[in-house]
Structure 1
Amino acid sequence: MKQIDDLVRGAVAYEDGLDLLAVAPAAEVDPALFGALADAVARLVRGGWQPAELHRAVVRRGGTDRPLLAAALVDAIAALLRGYARRSVDERWLAQADELGAAVWWSADASYVSELTARRRLDRISVVDDLLGLLVVLRALHPIEVLVPPPGSALVPSTKASAVDSRLLDKVRALLAKAESTGYPAEAETYTAKAQELIARHAIDEALLAGRDGAGADVVPFARRIGVDHPYENEKASLLDAVAEANRCHTVWSPDYGFATVFGFDADIDAVDLLYTSLLVQAGRAMAKAEPPGGKAGRARLKTFRQSFLVAYAVRIGERLARATELAIEEAAAASDLLPVLRSRDEQVRETMAKIFPRTVRGRGSRVDSLEGWESGREAADRAILN
């Protein structure tokens, strides 16, 4: 329907276009609106977007005060999957859709808008407004790197590294949960240290196994996009980079979309994801305890404190994790040929990153304008990460 396309492209003023659609016959508008939504999602999926990434982008750009945008996106993903047998869709792509709860609940595409209106107990114009808003958000998204084959692509045998053993993951999650919940810094350090120890030992064992007599030769590095939420995205991205580097991974930060692409072997990326998430929680809790009072008079001071805190936290985390990694490698290397294996794996990771991102730009570091925040951040990192 031309009116929908004109509105989404910005050829007509949004309110004017919405008024035209409001008086147009619903029998013409509703099927066209759902068709435009399905086409937009299909275009982005072919362009490399995965379900969780699309959902995050819509929430980020559409606002948390418009929950219907995210819900309609999930419905469009369900409509897309309807055309494929589950066994023909990559398991990682399918897992994301399942986690979002993507399922076809409406009786016919032509009646989707009216059924959604009844289901949400809203007036039709509000629903049409939100669906148009979703289309505007989706139109602003551009193709990104294809990391997981989208539905409809020829599936290839999986050559990614094996993920961390589920029992080990359960132990690590339990330790990090205790580190996040305790109010005593010494306990948090102990729990986090034990989690890092388990992860490091597993990663070294896996590297040695893969390098022994050519075992694991079919295993290749992988990439995963990890969301970085605002506020203070750049500082949080620095923390993610510090954790990734200490765990033999490399990152590319995409601030426009609010995610970083982490390159590494799958078990290492799992470790990065877990540790980063936990450390972010610990940093937030420590920052809340140490920060100066807010209010209008202290708003600028509070912002610079938080930025400086997170910069210092990321720097100190990087220093301590790097040292911990060095000690673990030195201990294992004394009894094995670990170092050549690690060098080879690092070269593979860098080659994979160069293929997907042939040109990258080194980001600018964040400014530190609060000595109070810097010192508090380093102290918090000392408490959060192993010695």
Structure 2
Amino acid sequence: MALQKPIVNAIAAFDASSAHTISFVVNGGDQVTANRAIIKLGSTNEVLYDDTQTTFALQHTIPANTLTNGNYYTIQIQTFNYLDDSSILSAPITFYCYSTPTFEFNNLPTNNVLKNASYNFELSYNQTEGEALSSYIINVYNSSQLLIWTSDTVYVGANGVPPTTFKAMVSGFEDSSFYYIRAVAQTTQFTELDTGYILLTTAFDAKSIYTQLLVTNNSCDGYVTITSNVMSLDGTTNPTPPVYINNEELDLTDPDSYVTWDNSFGIYGVYTARVWLRNPTIDSIIMTIYNASNPNENITLYVRETTISNVEYIYVEAYYVDSNGLLGYIYSNNIAKPASTDQIFIWLQKRDGMYDLILAEVEE
């Protein structure tokens, strides 16, 4: 049997200041007992490294500081058997050397303790030679490190040029609980990055959970601090631009019109949703909320109509699919059918696996 031509596996960019092992494959032929690597500088074709290593393993380790960060190179591999017969050189493979990037969450709260149910995480990336980031994923896990939220893969395009930052609003944290957050990413030259699992704990300030504005009197310094729990979230509308009524209300009476929020809203273990509307179309979908990490888990709200003793009433029906695929219905109370100009209010809450659904007319 003869030695077959080796095939070098793709090489992600690596830091030349540390030793790095590349791998290759050989399809059949004699047992490989040694291999030779020839590395050339890509810009000049100058041979910078030519060395043979004795090993049965189909890999070759490039010693630390053999190459220089900020350059690209080509590598070819040649194999040998126990008789010192040699194969032909592999096809050249191009790779880059870059300094190890920094990739981390840069705004974690003090002692990693979250003070409320939502947090806007910021992820930063930097690389000395300017290698761009290609994509990233942010995942949140429960205390058992089971995935409960994900950003999915975000391809950053031109925004990946370092230094750069990315943000992700995560909601649905529960008080007195443990979570983990982790981000992974890939650079344009295929280097894999990982923040590792970072432990988070929650300890909510009860007075701030149920207030839209929290006022703190800094009497010694003569000023007042006002903290807002209201966040502005951008949605996507159809049609675009949206149709407004008196510059105050979004007109969704057309059956093809809708608003979608791809981030920030979602189904979690504990959540509360509040909706204000008027003149709903009977039996139409008012709202659907999905679990970001499992779209099959969702809840959809409809406005229904009924007649009792010749009086017309409306109520809300919610159809849900839980994380185990179980189906169910929830019904609100009835209210007398309001005029088309009257606002109504829907309140939906899930806590400890139980739902509350309330419908009310908004008083002027």
TM-based fold match above 0.5: no
Higher relative contact order (CA 8 A, sep 6+): 1
Structure number with the higher helix fraction is 1
Structure number with the higher strand fraction is 2
Higher CA-based Rg: 2
TM-score (norm. length: structure 1): 0.20
